[in-house]
Amino acid sequence: MNRPLPRSVLAAALALALVGPAHAAPDASTASRDVDNLSDSDSDAGSAASGSSKPWMGEVINVTAKGTVADLPSALATDVVSWQDSVAGPSDFQDLIVRMPGVGATGQNGIFETFSIRGSGANGILVVVAGMPVTAQRRAGVPVSFVEPSLLGEISVTRGPAVVHFGPGALGGAISIEPRWFDTAALAAGYESAGDETHFMGGFGTEFFSVAAARHTANDTNSANGTPLNTSFERDSGSLQFRTQIAGFDVDGLLLPSRTENIGKSNSRFPTRDTTYPEDEHTLARLRARHDNGFEVSLHGHDQALFTRNRRPGAADTFASVESTDLGATVQHTLHSGDFSHNFGLEFLARRDVNGYDATRVIANRVYSLRRATEENWSIFGITDWQASDDFALEAGARFASQDQENRGAEASDSDAAFNAGAVFTPDESQRWTLSVSSGFRFATLEERFFTGVTPQGEIVGNPDLSTERSLGVDLGHAWHNGNWNTEVHLWSTQVDDLISLFAVAPGVNGYTNVSDARLHGLDAAVAWMPTEALSLRASATLVRSKDERSGDPLYGSPPLTTTFEAKYDFADFTFGAFYTHRFRMKRPGFEEVERSAVDLIDLDLRWHVNPSMDVQLFVRNALDEDYFGTADVLSALAPERSFGVNVSWALR
C-alpha cells in the first residue's frame, strides 16, 4: 500500500522548499486577510458565526477555519473551538467536537468513530481540512482521525445546510479544520492509563514558517467491566507551513502528512471477530495566494489510502482497500462597495486513480469494483453581504455544481444548485437575532455507486442509479449578552429529499437506496456565566428529532437528548476543570441502531501553570468508571474504562 506521492503533493512540497521565508511575510497575527471577525462567548468555544460588522458580544478573535470561500456564513449557526483549551484534552478529534451543541457520535468506537451534525451523518457532512474538501473513503462517512489533535488550530462547526459556503456535500453541516501555526519552539507530551496511550509533539516556527511533528500510540484497553477493546494504533503526523509575499500577493503553503498503522476497531463482536486497519495514509498540500484587492487562488491536493482486514472464526480472512488522489483549485474574488461585500468564484475538484477492491484469504486474490475510477466536480458560487443599517445585515448566495463519474466504462453525471438567505438583527449591544433559510445537496460518491465488497459490518452492494440528495433548512437563532451572562438558542428544521440510506438487501448484505423523504428538527442551546473573574460556567443542550418517511423510523445518527455542563476555576497558579455530560436514554433507534440506557459522564482536569512557558495537566476521563456503549450503533463496543493521565506542554516565551 506504500505508494509514491502524487505530482501535486510533490510540487507543493517543492514550492515550500523553494519559496520559503525569503521575502517579507505578512503580519503573523493575521492568518487570513479576508476572514471576518467572530465574537466569542467564552474562552473555550466560540459563539455563533460572524454577522454584521459590529460584534454583538464578547471578545473579538481572528478565525482562520472557514469554508472554501472567503466569505463566512453570517446567519448559520457556527461554533469555533480549540483543542488546547479543552477540559481533559480529548485524545482524538471526534471526542472534542461531540461536546459541541448539535454534534453527536455515530458509528463504532475507536479513532474511526464518526459523528453527525443535527442528525445528518455519514457523507451528509462536508469536512474541509486546510481548505481542502476531504472525500469519503468509507460508507460510514469521512473520519478525520488522521488529524493529530496537538497539531490542530481552530475548528469551526457549521450546523445546517452550508453548500453555498463550503461546497457540495454540506447537506446538513460542515466542519473546517486549520492546522496549528507554531510561531516559537513548542514541545508537548502526554500519557493516559487506558491502553497505555502516549503522544509526543515538537514544533518550531517564526512569523514566516512553521514546522511540527507528532507521534501518537495506544494499545488495546478494557471497558469498565473488563471487556477487551480493540483500540490500538500508531500514528505519525507532521505539518510544514510558510507565509511570504511575492509581487504584491500574500502567499502561504502547507504540507500535512499523516501515517497511521495497525488501527484496531472496537466493536461488539471483538475478539470473536476482529477488524483492523493496517494502513491509513493521508498527505494534504495547499498553495494559496491572496491579494489586497480581494483576489485569491488556492491549489490543493490530497493523496489517501485505507486498507482493512477482517478476521472471523471458521472463515478465511477478508481484505478491502480504497485509495485515491484528489486535486483541486479555487479561484475567487471579494469586492467591497459601500455597504455591500461580494464574493464570487469557481471551484474544481478531481478524484483520480480511485481504486477499490476486496480480497479473500490472501491479498493477491483481489476483486476490483473500482479500477482507476475518476470523478470531476465543477462549481460556481456568488455571495453578497449587505450592511443595510448599523443594526441590520442581509446575506444571500447561490452555488451551481456539476459532477461526472466514470468507472470501467460506467458513467454517471449530476448537477444541482443551492442557495442561502440570511438576516442578522442586532437591536442593541446585548442581543443578536439570526434567521437563515438555506438549501443543500450532495452527489452520490463513487464508493456508494460502484464499490461492492466485504466491509467490517458485512457485505455492501453499490447502486449506480442513486440520485442526488437535497436539503432545505430553516434556522432561527437568538443570542443574548448581559454583563457576565451569555446565552444562545437555535430552533431549526431540515427537510431532506432523496436521502441516500442503507437498507438490508439480504442477511449480512446491505445496499444503498434513495429514501423518498426525511425530516429533522430540533434545538441547540448554550448558556455561559462568569460570576467572577476566576470562575466560568457553561451549559448546553442538544435535541434532535428525525423521521424516515419511508419506514417511519428515526434516521441513523440522530443522537438522544444530550446536556453538558463545563466549569473552570482559577486559583493561584492552577486551573480546575470539569466537563459533565448527561446522555438521555436512546429509545428511538434508527436503521442498524439499538436502544441504549442513559449515562452520566464526567471528565476532570487540574492544570498547573508552572511558569509562562510551561503547563502540566493532570486529568481523569470517565471519572465515574461508567460501563456504557459509545454510540447507538448495533455493533458499538463499550466505551473505555476510567483513565488517568498527564499532559505536559512547553512553549518558548
229-271 pLDDT per residue, tens = 998 999 999 999 999 999 999 999 999 999 999 988 878 888 8
The C-alpha atoms of residue 185 and residue 609 are separated, in whole angstroms, by 18
Residue (of 280, 286, 283) closest to 303 by Cα position: 283
Question: Would the pLDDT of 27 be above 60?
Answer: no
Residue 98: what pLDDT?
Answer: 87
Cα distances (angstroms) measured from residue 545 to each of 464, 553, 636, 641: 30, 11, 21, 30
H or E segment and range at residue 245: strand 233-246
Query: 189 and 201 in contact (C-beta within 8 Å)?
Result: yes
303-325 pLDDT per residue, tens = 999 898 888 888 888 888 889 99
Give the three-class secondary structure for 96.
helix
Question: Which residues, other chains included, contact 150 with Cβ-Cβ below 8 Å and sequence gap of 6+?
Answer: 83, 180, 188, 199, 201, 214
Taking residues 558-575, what's their average pLDDT?
Answer: 95
Query: 638 and 227 in contact (C-beta within 8 Å)?
Result: yes
Cis peptide before 179 (omega within 30 of 0): no
Question: Would the pLDDT of 508 be above 80?
Answer: no
Residue (of 261, 62, 67, 90) closest to 617 by Cα position: 90
The C-alpha atoms of residue 594 and residue 630 are separated, in whole angstroms, by 12
Give the cell for residue 64.
482562520
Cα distances (angstroms) measured from residue 502 to each of 37, 53, 275, 510: 40, 44, 21, 6
Residue 334: what pLDDT?
Answer: 95
Q: Where does the pLDDT of residue 607 fall: very low under 50, low under 70, confident under 90, or very high at 90 and above?
A: very high
Question: Which residues, other chains included, contact 498 with Cβ-Cβ below 8 Å and sequence gap of 6+?
Answer: 467, 468, 469, 470, 514, 515, 516
H or E segment and range at residue 385: strand 366-389
| Bridge pairing between strands 186-192 and 197-205 | antiparallel
Q: Which long-range contacts (CB under 8 A, 24 or more apart) does 246-252 make?
A: 246/19, 246/23, 246/289, 248/291, 248/292, 249/289, 249/290, 249/291, 250/26, 250/33, 250/289, 250/290, 250/291, 251/19, 251/287, 251/288, 251/289, 251/290, 252/286, 252/287, 252/288
Query: 324 and 351 in contact (C-beta within 8 Å)?
Result: yes
Look at 548-552, 566-570, 579-583 and tell me which has the smallest mean pLDDT.
Answer: 548-552
Half-sphere exposure of 290 (CA within 13 A, CB side): 19
Strands (DSSP E) contained in 452-508 are 453-455, 458-461, 469-482, 485-506
Q: Which long-range contacts (CB under 8 A, 24 or more apart) does 351-354 make?
A: 351/135, 351/324, 351/325, 351/326, 351/375, 351/376, 351/446, 352/6, 352/324, 352/325, 352/326, 352/327, 353/323, 353/324, 353/325, 354/322, 354/323, 354/324, 354/407, 354/446
Give the cell for residue 79.
461554533
Residue 91: what pLDDT?
Answer: 78
329-364 pLDDT per residue, tens = 999 999 999 999 999 999 999 999 999 888 888 888
Give the three-class secondary structure for 33.
coil
The C-alpha atoms of residue 428 and residue 552 are separated, in whole angstroms, by 44
Residue (of 647, 648, 646, 645) closest to 613 by Cα position: 648
The alpha carbons of the chain give a radius of gyration, in whole angstroms, of 23
Look at 140-149, 396-405, 581-590 and tell me which has the smallest mean pLDDT.
Answer: 140-149
Residue (of 308, 238, 274, 292) closest to 1 by Cα position: 308
In the sheet with 125-129, reading across from the earlier edge strand, the strands are: 77-82, 152-159, 173-179, 125-129, 132-133
Give the cell for residue 605.
482536569
Taking residues 442-469, what's their average pLDDT?
Answer: 82
Cα distances (angstroms) measured from residue 75 to each of 145, 161, 438: 29, 12, 10
Strands (DSSP E) contained in 550-613 are 562-571, 574-583, 599-611
Question: Would the pLDDT of 58 be above 50?
Answer: no
Length of the chain: 653
Residue 53: what pLDDT?
Answer: 29
Q: Kindly report the pTM of this predicted structure.
A: 0.85
Average pLDDT, the chain: 85
| Bridge pairing between strands 599-611 and 228-229 | unpaired
Partners of residue 541 on adjacent β-strands: 525, 563
H or E segment and range at residue 164: helix 163-166
169-199 pLDDT per residue, tens = 899 899 998 899 999 999 999 999 999 999 9
Query: 470 and 439 in contact (C-beta within 8 Å)?
Result: yes
The DSSP call for residue 625 is -
Residue 455: what pLDDT?
Answer: 63
